[in-house]
Structure 1
Amino acid sequence: MSAWNLGGADSVALVTGAARGIGAAVVDGLVREGVTVAAVDVEADGLAGLAERSEGRVVPFAADVADAAAIADVVDHVERDIGPIGIGVSVAGILRPGLLCETSDQDWADTFSVNTTGAFVVLRELARRMVPRGSGSLVTVASNAAGVPRTGMGAYAASKAATAMLTHCLGLEVARHGIRCNVVSPGSTDTPMQRQLWTDETEGADLARVIAGAPEQFRVGIPLGRIADPADIADAVLFLVSDRARHITMQNLFVDGGATLRV
């Protein structure tokens, strides 16, 4: 029995950043619900693995979200050959950690190219097709770093804050067409992106540091005492794209174990 009402066997979703981490967990969750997923990522090998275990429910597309023409082609292909896209989840993102005074022009540009412009391109292409149909659900995966200043993550945090706001603005513009736009903001999650920040060779030391927090970085710990699994974030996404969230739009759901201490 389906845990979520996602529109039945004919439902089609497009997920970016699908090859690993949170994106792959979102794809797996959608597939379990019977949704056919157009999985987009620059990592072709990761997409192939997703497709192999999906029993035909995942169609891989190797494309860069920062390439507007490529994304338009992917969306055209999906709509023509698979079906109308009713669910869009923008997960693709990169992290170039570093103090702002030491951030290069290229790292800043690359971060915004993928995290912000890439999300804009995907949202725009999907919304353009959803508006005439009068339905659709779009979710952008941002970060709790967008809401709390972080040392060494200025470019990433700024890009995610911009992405969250553009998602909300789009949600306001398309609400009258029955389209919902929401944001999921994860905290520390056990993904390859998280692990690229881990440097301690002692087993479990980096994980313990993330949970405990780092006062020297003005970073609180995680009140729930655990790091998120990608599936925790995927479940939040599945809820927001489901009919159970039919009256929710322009919201930002923080899935971070309480780390941002938001009210």
Structure 2
Amino acid sequence: MSAEVPNKDFPWWLVVLGATGLWAVYEVWASPAYSEVMAGLVKGIWVTIGVTLVAYVLACLMGLGLAMAGLSRFRVLRQAARLWIEVIRGVPIMVLLLYVAFVVAPGMVWAWNQVAAFVGFDPIRPRDFPLLARAVMALTLAYSAFLAEIFRAGLQSVDKGQSEAAMSLGLNGWQRFRHVVFPQAFRVILPPLGNDFVAMVKDSSLVSILGVADITQIGKVMAAGNFRYFETYNMVAMIYLVMTISLSLLLRRFERGMKVVEK
């Protein structure tokens, strides 16, 4: 006889994290060392949020395009989408960041200069391609492959009869996708999309290897200058925890709200 698992446990883990957060707030208020660290890290918070939002939106658009290409009736599109997804998913994000920053971006600058010389525009230098833009590009490419698989699974979860019924009503391909297929697929893909968004918040810390002034990079520079490694990395970890746990709770609440509306 298997033991019954309670449906709802009291979230003691959230109580522990809340108490830890209150301790961190108190330390920032009462300790000059923590106050100094937090004042420096605030600038990096906005960079982290900006990088995450821009890269995630672009990755969603690219991932949706890849998913639709992978489900296309044209073999070339299907094979090209699968090639991209398998290659990108097989390369570590840190390696992809370095490759985009120091191989792809200079190559794009060279290609632009070739076109500029032909049409009479001024050439640009590799340093004119900001590291922040390179970091956003790399995260976009990295997550596009993972999001493409999420979109593909969601689109395939919709019964073909739904699309056929919409076709019989005279809807064209775009109207069927917009009004019939995607709204049903969205209920399936929302949880994994939310999980990947939270994961990107954490993976955005990798842009610090390019010198982008996000939370992690500012923390490394501050710790190397004032030797307050304990206080600095405590606050860095706490900021990421607050961001990711808050997003996770909001996404869970949104999912529950959607289920109530469906009922």
**TM-score computed with the length of structure 1 as normaliser:** 0.28
Larger RCO (CA under 8 A, 6+ residues apart): 2
Give 1 or 2: higher helix fraction: 2
**TM-score computed with the length of structure 2 as normaliser:** 0.28
